[in-house]
Amino acid sequence: MYEYKEKYTLDFSKIEHWDEFHQIIRKELDLPRNYGKNWDALWDCLTDMVDIDEPLNIEILGAEVVEQKWPGTINTLVEILKDLKHWADDYFCDYVKVEIVYGDARYEIT
Q: Are 36 and 49 in contact (CB under 8 A)?
A: no
In a domain, 62, yes or no: yes
In a domain, 54, yes or no: yes
In a domain, 21, yes or no: yes
**pTM metric for this prediction:** 0.92
In a domain, 3, yes or no: no
Q: Tell me the pLDDT tens digit for each residue of 36-86.
A: 999 999 999 999 988 777 899 999 999 999 999 999 999 999 999 999 999
In a domain, 59, yes or no: yes
- Domain that residue 75 falls in: 8-109
In a domain, 20, yes or no: yes
In a domain, 1, yes or no: no
